[in-house]
C-alpha cells in the first residue's frame, strides 16, 4: 500500500510540473496601449513615469490589432541622457523592420532621455513601421562630443523606407548651441564676419529616398542645422508638430524638402533662425496649410539655381497661415546663372504681423558681396498672391519683385492685398524690376510698378522647360 502511495505521489508531481512549464511559455496578447511584459525574459525593472508599468518589458509583445511593440529599453537602452544608446536603437529598429507583423512600433518610452549617435536606419521593412517617441531623444552635445568616425552632416537618417510614421508625445532635442557657436557661423566673427575652420553641422532628421511618410504630434527643438529634411521622397504628411530654435540660430530651417512630391504640411507651429519651410529643386504638388511661422525667415521657395544649376518647382500652395516677426513672409529666391522654372504657385489667405518683406521675389539672391551679374536665370511665372493682409516693418517695402534682367517674371497676379505699416502712417511703395503681371483688385499700398501683358521675348525652351 505504501508503495502504491509513492507511485501516485510521483505521477501527481510530474503532472503539476508539466502544467507549470506549459503556463510559463504561453505568449499573451495585449492591447495596443499596453507595455505589460508578455514573456519570461528577465530585465531590470523599468521606472513608471507617466503611467508605464513597473514590470520588465518584453522584446516584442503582440497586440490584438496585429501590431508589435519593440521597446528600446528591452534592447538594452539606458535612457539616462549620458550612456550611448545607439546600438540598442539599431537592434530595436532592425528587429521591427524584419518583423512580419502588419504594424511594428519602435517605442521610445517617456520618462527617459536617450543619447544616440549619428545613425542610418535603413529599409525596406517587412511591414509598416512606427517610431513612437514619448521620451526625449538627443545627439551628443556639440562638435567636441561628436565621434570622428561618424558624419557631421546628419544625425538620424531614414533611408529607403516605405510606410513609416514618426510620432509621439516626447521631445527631440538637437542640442544645437555649441554648433551655432562655431567661429565659421554667421555673425560669430569680428564685426559680423565669419572665420575659417570646419563648419559642417548635422541635420537633425533626414528622410532619404522614402515614401508614404507621416510625421505627427512631435516637438523638436534646437537642431544644429535643418530640423527636418526630405530628399527624394514621395507622399509626405506632416501634421501638428512644433519646431523651435532661437531666432539667431543659423541655418535652422524647420522643414526643407528637395526632389520630393505629394507633400502636405498642416497645422504646425515653427519658430527658428531660418525658413520655416524651404522648398528646393525637384518639388511639386506641395500643399502647406495652417502654419504659424515666426520669428523666422518666412516660407520660401529656394534658393534655386546656385552654381549655374537647373531647378524645377511647380504646383505649390501656401494658404491659411500666419507669419509674424519674420525677415520675410512668402518668398521666391533664385541665384543668377541658374536655369529651369518656378511656376503655378499660389499664396493665399496669409496673415502678416510685423514682417520685414511680406511678399518678395528675389532673383539676385547672394550670400556675399561679390556675386557677378549673369545672363541666365530661373524662369518665374504664374504666381498668384491672394488675400494677403497684415502689417510690415517700415524699413523695407511691403512688396518686392526683383526679377532677372534677362529673364523677367511673368503672370504675377495680385488680389485682395492689404499691407499696412506696423508703425506710423507712412506707406512704403512696392518695388518692381522687370516684373510682368496684373492686379485683379486694388491693393494697399497701390502697386503701379507691375508691367502689364507679356514681355516681347521669353526664355527659350531649353532654359525654362522642366
Residues serving a catalytic function are 297
CA atoms of 363 and 404, how far apart (whole Å): 6
Please provide residue 184's backbone torsions phi and psi, each rounded to the nearest 5 degrees. Answer: -75, -10
CA atoms of 389 and 416, how far apart (whole Å): 8
**Residue 343: other Cβ atoms inside 10 A:** 20
Cis omega (within 30 of 0) for bond into 124: yes
Residues in the chain: 466
**Cell representation of residue 324:** 509674424
Per the rule left: phi > 0, alpha: psi between -120 and 50, beta: everything else, 307 is left
CA atoms of 228 and 338, how far apart (whole Å): 26
CA atoms of 262 and 278, how far apart (whole Å): 15
Q: How far is CA 188 from CA 182, 183, 200, 249, in A?
A: 7, 5, 15, 11
CA atoms of 140 and 379, how far apart (whole Å): 43
Q: What is the DSSP letter of 76?
A: T
Name, in order, each residue with C-beta under 8 angstroms of 23's C-beta and a sequence gap of 6 or more. none
- Residue 121 CA from chain centroid, whole number: 17
CA atoms of 325 and 393, how far apart (whole Å): 9
Whether residue 328 contacts residue 360, with contact meaning beta carbons closer than 8 Å, is answered with yes
**Residue 56: other Cβ atoms inside 10 A:** 17
Whether residue 114 contacts residue 138, with contact meaning beta carbons closer than 8 Å, is answered with yes
Amino acid at each position: 500500500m505504501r508503495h502504491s502511495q509513492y507511485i501516485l505521489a510521483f505521477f501527481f508531481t510530474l503532472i503539476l510540473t508539466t502544467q507549470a512549464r506549459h503556463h510559463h511559455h504561453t505568449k499573451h496578447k495585449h492591447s495596443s496601449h499596453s507595455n505589460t511584459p508578455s514573456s519570461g525574459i528577465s530585465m531590470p525593472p523599468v521606472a513608471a513615469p507617466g503611467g508605464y508599468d513597473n514590470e520588465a518589458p518584453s522584446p516584442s509583445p503582440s497586440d490584438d490589432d496585429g501590431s508589435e511593440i519593440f521597446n528600446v529599453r528591452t534592447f538594452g537602452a539606458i535612457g539616462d541622457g549620458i550612456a550611448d544608446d545607439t546600438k540598442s536603437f539599431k537592434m530595436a529598429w532592425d528587429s521591427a523592420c524584419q518583423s512580419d507583423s502588419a504594424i511594428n512600433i519602435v517605442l521610445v518610452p517617456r520618462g527617459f532621455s536617450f543619447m544616440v549617435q549619428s545613425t542610418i536606419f535603413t529599409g525596406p521593412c517587412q511591414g509598416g513601421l512606427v517610431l513612437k517617441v514619448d521620451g526625449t531623444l538627443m545627439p551628443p552635445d556639440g562638435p567636441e562630443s561628436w565621434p570622428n568616425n561618424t558624419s557631421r552632416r546628419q544625425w538620424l537618417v531614414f533611408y529607403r523606407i516605405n510606410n513609416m510614421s514618426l510620432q509621439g508625445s516626447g521631445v527631440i532635442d538637437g542640442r544645437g548651441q555649441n554648433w551655432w557657436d562655431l567661429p565659421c557661423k554667421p555673425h560669430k566673427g569680428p564685426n559680423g564676419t565669419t572665420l575659417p575652420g570646419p563648419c559642417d553641422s548635422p541635420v537633425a532628421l533626414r528622410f532619404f529616398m522614402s515614401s508614404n511618410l507621416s510625421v505627427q504630434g512631435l516637438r523638436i527643438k534646437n537642431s544644429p542645422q535643418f530640423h527636418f529634411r526630405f530628399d527624394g521622397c514621395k507622399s509626405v504628411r506632416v501634421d501638428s508638430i512644433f519646431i523651435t530654435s532661437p531666432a539667431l540660430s543659423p541655418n535652422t530651417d524647420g522643414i526643407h524638402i528637395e526632389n520630393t512630391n505629394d507633400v502636405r504640411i498642416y497645422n504646425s507651429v515653427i519658430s527658428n533662425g531660418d525658413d520655416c519651410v524651404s522648398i528646393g529643386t525637384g518639388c511639386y504638388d506641395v500643399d502647406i496649410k495652417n502654419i504659424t511661422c515666426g520669428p523666422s525667415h518666412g516660407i520660401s521657395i529656394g534658393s534655386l539655381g546656385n552654381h549655374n544649376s537647373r531647378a524645377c518647382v511647380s504646383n505649390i500652395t501656401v494658404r491659411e497661415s500666419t507669419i509674424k516677426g519674420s525677415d520675410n513672409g512668402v518668398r521666391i529666391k533664385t541665384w543668377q546663372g541658374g536655369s529651369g522654372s518656378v511656376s503655378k504657385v499660389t499664396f493665399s489667405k496669409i496673415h502678416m504681423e510685423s514682417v520685414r518683406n511680406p511678399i518678395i521675389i528675389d532673383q539676385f539672391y547672394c550670400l556675399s558681396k561679390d556675386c557677378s551679374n549673369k545672363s541666365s536665370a530661373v524662369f518665374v511665372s504664374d504666381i498668384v498672391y491672394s488675400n494677403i493682409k497684415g502689417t510690415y516693418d517700415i524699413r523695407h517695402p511691403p512688396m518686392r519683385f526683383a526679377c532677372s534682367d534677362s529673364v523677367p517674371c511673368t503672370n504675377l497676379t495680385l488680389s485682395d492685398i492689404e499691407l499696412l505699416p506696423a508703425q506710423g502712417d507712412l506707406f512704403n511703395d512696392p518695388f518692381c524690376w522687370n516684373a510682368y503681371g496684373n492686379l485683379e483688385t486694388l491693393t494697399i499700398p497701390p502697386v503701379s510698378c507691375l508691367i502689364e501683358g507679356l514681355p516681347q521675348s521669353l526664355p527659350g525652351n531649353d532654359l525654362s522647360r522642366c
